[in-house]
């Protein structure tokens, strides 16, 4: 990997960390398009639980991973909501980058052709 | 409980249909892995990791589209422009799997449905539009931004209709399909516009800083001076 690509990746990752760690706290808390549509026709209480009516989400079941320490974009045990959301976002970005980047790196082409292509392309940049 | 992202929860579509889409999604992703290997080189592989991480971050940013209704980016078109359709579908899937397993977002039973809509329909529609538009528009940051905008709006609306199709096959409730389809399409046009603006800004920025890292600019060049050693079948244009 070239040094320039390294800097670009670092910059991109920093932006993603800021978005997930800081800006995420200013995101809208309203139900999203799918969820709002799924709840249309039902009455919902302050906690978002369905209290009556007819809608798509009536039979909705709890998530199998609801007990995960990061469930619902927060960290179990951290009471400050800003810290909890922000840190869970930072962890999510790092985990996604780690898993995604790792798998893609292992799956990449490593033949003689690939190496030749890289050299010629780097020279052209 | 605060709801954060627009992924299908468990129990909205029944078990057999969810299982059917899980099998479909697994087969489609296996095909994507096979095709993605031709694209993945030393430069695209780390870039794909960054695209996945960036989509995860931006999916946390719900924006208001109507009173009481929000939406967030799905990322299909963005991924297609930056890393291509096969790697792009895998990027969005990675995000959905991490969200489902660690953040309890989008039901585990519904994972196949969510991957089908957001990772497969979103990127497939995005790819067709990007491939068509990059032949018409200038290969500049503005051109690639406009491409990402249009592909996002249409990709998001089509992904929302993927849900309508799944609900038609196996919905656990029986509401008017026309109403569901209309409501989903209407809301997702607005969400798509929001996604389009984010995607256009992102790809135009990358195109300005490092045009060589934008898949759409490399792949859809009119007449490449040096033919790529990657054996890719050109679709008959």
CA-based nearest distance B136→chain A, Å: 25
In which residue ranges of chain B is pLDDT below 70?
1-6, 221-237
Instruction: Say if the Cβ atoms of A71 and B104 lie within 8 Å.
Output: yes
Q: Evaluate whether residue A6 is within a structural domain.
A: no
Residue with the larger pLDDT of the pair A53 and B232: A53
Q: Evaluate whether residue A91 is within a structural domain.
A: yes
How many angstroms separate the CA atoms of A74 and B73, rounded? Answer: 20
Measured between beta carbons, the chain A residues lying within 8 angstroms of B6 are: 32-35
Q: Evaluate whether residue A8 is within a structural domain.
A: no
pLDDT of B180: 92
Regarding whether A108 and A79 lie in a shared domain, the answer is: yes
**In Å, what is the CA distance from A100 to each residue of A72, B23, B51, B83, B93?**
21, 22, 9, 13, 10
From B48, B173, B188, residue closest to A58, measured CB to CB: B173
Domains and CATH numbers, chain B: 3-219 (1.10.1760.20)
Task: pLDDT band for A114, please (50, 70, 90 cuts).
Answer: very low
pLDDT digits (tens, 9 = 90+) for B185-226: 999 999 999 999 999 999 999 999 999 999 999 887 654 455
pLDDT of B232: 54
Q: Evaluate whether residue A20 is within a structural domain.
A: no
pLDDT of A125: 38
Measured between beta carbons, the chain B residues lying within 8 angstroms of A40 are: 183
Instruction: Say if the Cβ atoms of A28 and B41 lie within 8 Å.
Output: no
Q: Evaluate whether residue A36 is within a structural domain.
A: yes
CA-based nearest distance A105→chain B, Å: 5
pLDDT of B4: 43
Q: Evaluate whether residue A105 is within a structural domain.
A: yes
Regarding whether A76 and A125 lie in a shared domain, the answer is: yes
How many angstroms separate the CA atoms of B211 and B133, rounded? Answer: 17
Regarding whether A86 and A56 lie in a shared domain, the answer is: no
Average pLDDT over residues A96-122: 72
pLDDT of B235: 58
pLDDT of A110: 80
Q: Cβ neighbours of residue B38 under 8 Å, at least 6 residues apart?
A: A109, B86, B230, B231, B232
pLDDT of B221: 61
Regarding whether A125 and A86 lie in a shared domain, the answer is: yes
Residue with the larger pLDDT of the pair A49 and B230: A49
Regarding whether A120 and A82 lie in a shared domain, the answer is: yes
Total domains present in chain A: 2
Residue A102 near residue A96 (C-beta atoms within 8 A) = no
Domain that holds residue A110: 72-125
For residue A5, give the 3-state DSSP assignment. Answer: helix
pLDDT of B231: 57
pLDDT of A51: 85
Regarding whether A51 and A82 lie in a shared domain, the answer is: no
Chain B residue with CA closest to A104: the answer is B45
């Amino acid at each position: 990997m070239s040094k320039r690509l390294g800097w670009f990746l670092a910059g991109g990752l920093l932006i993603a960390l800021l978005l997930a760690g800081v800006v995420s706290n200013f995101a809208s808390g309203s139900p999203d398009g799918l969820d709002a549509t799924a709840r249309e026709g039902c009455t919902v209480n302050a906690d978002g639980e369905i209290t009556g009516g007819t809608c798509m989400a009536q039979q909705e079941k709890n998530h199998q991973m609801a007990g995960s320490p990061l469930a619902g974009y927060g960290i179990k045990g951290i009471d400050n909501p800003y810290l909890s959301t922000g840190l869970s976002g930072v962890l999510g970005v790092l985990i996604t980058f780690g898993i995604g980047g790792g798998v893609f790196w292992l799956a990449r082409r490593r033949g003689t052709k690939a190496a030749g292509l890289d050299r010629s392309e780097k020279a052209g940049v | 409980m605060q709801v954060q992202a627009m992924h299908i929860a468990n129990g909205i579509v029944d078990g057999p249909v969810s299982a059917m889409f899980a099998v479909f999604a697994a087969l489609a992703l296996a095909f994507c892995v096979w095709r993605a290997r031709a694209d993945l080189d030393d430069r695209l592989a780390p870039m794909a990791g960054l695209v996945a991480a960036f989509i995860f971050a931006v999916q946390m940013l719900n924006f208001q589209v109507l009173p009481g209704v929000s939406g967030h980016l799905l990322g299909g078109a963005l991924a297609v422009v930056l890393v291509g359709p096969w790697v792009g579908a895998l990027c969005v899937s990675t995000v959905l799997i991490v969200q489902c397993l660690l953040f309890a977002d989008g039901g585990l039973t519904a994972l196949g449905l969510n991957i089908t809509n957001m990772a497969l329909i979103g990127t497939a529609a995005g790819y067709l539009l990007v491939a068509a538009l990059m032949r018409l528009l200038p290969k500049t940051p503005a051109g690639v931004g406009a491409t990402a905008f249009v592909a996002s709006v249409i990709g998001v609306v089509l992904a929302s209709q993927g849900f309508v199709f799944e609900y038609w096959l196996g919905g656990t409730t029986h509401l008017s399909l026309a109403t569901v389809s209309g409501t989903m399409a209407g809301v997702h046009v607005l969400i798509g516009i929001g996604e389009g603006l984010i995607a256009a800004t992102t790809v135009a920025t990358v195109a300005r800083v490092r045009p060589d890292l934008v898949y759409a600019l490399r792949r859809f060049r009119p007449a490449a001076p040096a033919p790529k050693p990657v054996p890719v079948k050109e679709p008959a244009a």
